[in-house]
Chain A
Amino acid sequence: DAGVIQSPRHEVTEMGQEVTLRCKPISGHNSLFWYRQTMMRGLELLIYFNNNVPIDDSGMPEDRFSAKMPNASFSTLKIQPSEPRDSAVYFCASSFPAGSNYGYTFGSGTRLTVV
């Protein structure tokens, strides 16, 4: 298995532009998570899905952030409009059912810089 695949690896964009981050989970995993990591705040959960359904989006910072999972093999995290404070590493992770004793497998992350 190729693991969790994220794209792009790096993104540099200007303030106000739309940014779309993509994630392909491991086949057979039915939970998918989006995290954001900064030096100040560490890893923060933004949203997670069970069987393609959003379960908890309380970590999404504001309405500028949205996430979708149209099918079991693909998810997107969109920021519109982007702001400099959104600069961070965004990780996608997948696992077997949330609530089980399985850990998560993370993708390599997208390093986002908003200038």
Chain B
Amino acid sequence: RKEVEQDPGPFNVPEGATVAFNCTYSNSASQSFFWYRQDCRKEPKLLMSVYSSGNEDGRFTAQLNRASQYISLLIRDSKLSDSATYLCVVNTRSQGNLIFGKGTKLSVKP
């Protein structure tokens, strides 16, 4: 089983839609969780950390379910500029190197 698994998509949604991405991780000892965003031919950039209680940043909401080893990202009121690949990221070792999922591609259409 892969350490971090995501649906590769693509998710094609109209502007204004709400879209949710899911991610599962295999190591129950994982401690830190993140969502990164990667635009085409660019480097990954940190979108937000994911906290146990769930957290929100504007139109973005992240949730963590440790029991199910599951992370989610919800984007409300999608914008054209949200089109990108969203990477689920997990810290699986105490030393701290991050493990990246392969990403879910989102395309927001006018």
Interface of B is mostly: strand
**Cα(A42)–Cα(B102), bound, Å:** 5
For A39, the closest partner residue in chain B by CB is B102
A-B CB contacts (within 8 Å), total count = 52
Establish whether residues B98 and A55, one from each chain, have CB atoms under 8 Å apart when the complex forms.
Answer: no
Q: Are A42's CB and B101's CB within 8 A?
A: yes
How far apart sit A50 and B97, CA to CA, in the bound complex (Å)?
10
- Chain A residues with CB under 8 A of B101: 42
Contact (Cβ within 8 A) A99 B99: no
Q: What string of 1s and 0s marks CB contacts (under 8 Å) between A44-64 and chain B?
A: 010010100001100000000
Inter-chain contacts of A48 with B (CB < 8 A): 97
Which residues of B23-43 have CB atoms within 8 Å of chain A's CB atoms?
A: 31-32, 34, 36, 42-43
Shortest C-beta distance, B90 to chain A (Å), equals: 12
Chain A interface size range: 20 to 34
Sampled A-B contacts (6; CB under 8 Å): A43-B100, A97-B96, A98-B96, A99-B91, A99-B94, A99-B96
Q: Residues on B close to A: CB < 8 A?
A: 31-32, 34, 36, 42-46, 49, 87, 89, 91, 94-103
Q: B-contacting residues of A (Cβ < 8 Å)?
A: 31, 33, 35, 42-43, 45, 48, 50, 55-56, 91, 97-101, 103-109
